[in-house]
Amino acid sequence: MSGLYDLHTHTILSDGEMLPIELIRRMAVLGYTTVAITDHVDASNALSVIEALKMVRESAQLFGVRLLCGVEITHVPPAQIAALARQVKETGADIVVVHGETPVEPVAAGTNHAACSCRDVDVLAHPGLITIEDALLAAKNDIALELTSRGGHNRTNGYVAQIGREAACRLVVDSDAHAPGDLLDERAKFIVAKGAGLTEAECRQVISLNIDQFLYS
């Protein structure tokens, strides 16, 4: 399924400002067909977040949006990332995002490597100055590297795009939205991709990602 997507958003289930269905409604008005809600989790809340999101899936469908029930594994010790990713997938998570080594937060060294080594991870969010070795691992395991519009996290978008190109990684453009003002329309998503140094053709390819092919092939 192609169409406007966002694979990284937050609600009041963690540090966002919107109810899940408010986020979905606002995204529907902007033309989105696929939205992943990926609230911050560790071992204490991962399963409850997935169960809460499942209860909103039908409401999202009534607004014409396919809701992907997900998580963003955040500040979890690298040695525990794989086990938690496997646990949430077994609980029914549609997508697992890992909070990468952004330059603006004290993320533990080795988080990028742990995420890129794990086949249960789908997206490495704002991976900062990711190494080419980890990017190659991400490509091997079909893990997407994120270009983000989020302030601070987006400082390394150009570097991530360059490394992703070298490693033949899949790239995605996400909002990491926490509030209504963070949401992106299609033009804004294109500008994030273009601003990261992608060509016009690469921008179109990233913006029109086939989500089913990515997540379920």
Residue 159 and residue 48: Cα distance in Å, rounded?
35
- The helix or strand, by DSSP H or E, that contains position 125, with its residue range, turns out to be strand 123-125
The pTM is what? 0.97
pLDDT at 155: 98
Task: State the DSSP string of 19-74.
Answer: -HHHHHHHHHHTTEEEEEEEEEE-TTTHHHHHHHHHTTHHHHHHTT-EEEEEEEE-
Question: What is the CATH superfamily name and number for domain 4-216?
Answer: Metal-dependent hydrolases (3.20.20.140)
pLDDT at 216: 87
Return the domain boundaries, the chain.
4-216
Tens of each residue's pLDDT in the chain, 217 residues: 568 999 999 999 999 999 999 999 999 999 999 999 999 999 999 999 999 999 999 999 999 999 999 999 999 999 999 999 999 999 999 999 999 999 999 999 999 999 999 999 999 999 999 999 999 999 999 999 999 999 999 999 999 999 999 999 999 999 999 999 999 999 999 999 999 999 999 999 999 999 999 998 7
pLDDT digits (tens, 9 = 90+) for 1-20: 568 999 999 999 999 999 99
Q: Which two tokens stand for residue 77?
A: 């010790």
